[in-house]
Structure 1
Amino acid sequence: MELSDLYLALFISFFKIGLFGFGGGYAMLPLIQREVVDLHGWISVSDFTDIVAISQTTPGPIAFNSATYIGYTAVTEMGFAQGYGVLGSAVCTFAVSIPSLVIMTIVCAFFFRLKSNPWMQASLSVLKPAIIGLIASAALLLMNGYNFVDYKSWIIFVAVLVASLKKADPILLIVLSGVAGLLLYPA
C-alpha cells in the first residue's frame, strides 16, 4: 500500500469514528476496534487493549489519544519512517476531531433557540440509552482472554469493581491500583 493510500484510509476510518461515535470516548471504543483491528488490521487486539489503558492515563479524550497512537503505529508498521508516522498521527487526530467540531458548531448555533422544543427533548432522551449500550459494549470488548490471563487479573478486576460500587475516592483508587500492580506484577 502506498503512503498516500494509507493516509487516506486512516483519514476515512477516523472520520467515520468521529462522525458516528456518539457518547464520548468509551462509546467510541467498539467503533475504533472494528475499524482498526477487525477491518484493517492496523493493530492487534492486545495492542488495542494496551492503547485503551494508556489512553485512560494520559490527558485528553480517549478517541484523540488512541487516534494519535494508531496513526503512528499503522504507518510505521507498514515500513515507513517515523516522521511519516508522526504525520499519520496528525491525520488520524485531525480526522476524528473534524466531525465533532462541525457538529458542535451547528448544534450550538441552534440549540439555545430550540432547547425547550419537545422534539429536541425527545431526541436527547432517545440518545441516552444508546450511549449506555455503547459503553456496555466497550466494557464487554475489553473483557477478553488477553486481559484476564491469570488470577491476579481477576483480583484487580474484583477490587476495582467493588471500590467503584462503593464510590471510593478516584485518587485513592489510582494509588491503590498502582500499588496492586507493583505487588502482583513486579518488574
Structure 2
Amino acid sequence: MTLIKLFWSFFQIGLFSIGGGMAAMPLIQNQVVNMHQWLTLTEFTDLITIAEMTPGPIAINSATFVGIRIAGIPGAIIATIGCILPSCAIVSLLAWLYFKYKELTLVQGILSGLRPTIVALIASAGLSIFILAVWGEGGFSMNPQAINLVSVLLFSSALFILRKWKPNPIFVMLGSGIIGGAIYLII
C-alpha cells in the first residue's frame, strides 16, 4: 500500500509541477509533509538542500530521496517512476502528434514562429550569465572598476580557443574552471 501511495503522490507531482523543479517544491511539501506526514518540515528542508546539491532535476532527486526514506530501494524506484511518468507520456504524445502532423502548414507556421522565441530565450539566459560573470550581483555598470577582469580574460580566452581550434567545449569549461579556481585561490 505504501508503494502505491508513493507512486500516486509523485505521479501527481510530476503531472502538475509545471514550471521546473522549484515549482514542484510546494506540491512535494504538500504531499510529503502535510498529507502523508512521511517527513517533518525540518526533514523536508534538508531534502531540498540535498536535492539541490545532487546532480539532476530537483523533483526527481526529491522523489528518490523520499522513496528511499519511506520504502527503501523499491520505494525510490517507484517514487522516481511516478515522478517522471507523466512527463514521458506527455512528451511521447507530443512527439507522436508532431510526426503525424509535421507536414501541415499550420504546424510549420507555429514552429517557425517559435524559433525566434527560443533563440531569444537562450540569448537572454546567456546574457544574464555573462552580466553576472563580468559585473557580479550588482549587474551592468558603466564603472570600469566594477568589471571582473579574471572573468573577462577567461571568457575571452575560452571563446578564442573554441573558435580557433574547435575543441570539445567540456574540456574548455574544465580548463577554465581549473585556471579560474587557481587564480581565485591566489588572489
Give the equivalent residue in structure 2 for 1:91.
82
The answer to whether residue 20 in structure 2 is matched with residue 31 in structure 1 is yes
The answer to whether residue 38 in structure 2 is matched with residue 50 in structure 1 is no
Deviation of the 1:10 alpha carbon? 0.6
Aligned with residue 76 of structure 1, among 68, 71, 94: 68
The answer to whether residue 16 in structure 2 is matched with residue 16 in structure 1 is yes
Aligned with residue 40 of structure 1, among 4, 25, 28: 28
The CA deviation string for residues 63-103 of structure 1, in whole angstroms up to 9 with x for no partner, is 5xx554332212223x3222221222222233332211111
**Paired residue total:** 143
| Partner amino acid, structure 1, of 2:53 | D
Please tell me whether Structure 1 or Structure 2 has the larger radius of gyration of its CA atoms. 2
- Percent of aligned pairs with the same residue? 6
Please report the TM-score for the alignment, with normalisation by the length of structure 1.
Answer: 0.52
Structure of higher RCO (CA pairs closer than 8 Å, 6+ residues apart): 1
Which runs of 5 or more residues in structure 2 are unaligned?
33-43, 130-147, 163-168
Partner Cα distance (1:6, 1:158) in 2: 50
Output the aligned Cα RMSD.
4.3
Distance 1:15 1:174, change over 3 A: farther
| Partner amino acid, structure 1, of 2:84 | T
Question: Does the aligned pair in 2 maintain the 1:16–1:96 contact within 8 Å?
Answer: no
| Partner amino acid, structure 1, of 2:173 | L
More helix by share: 2
Give the equivalent residue in structure 1 for 2:92.
101
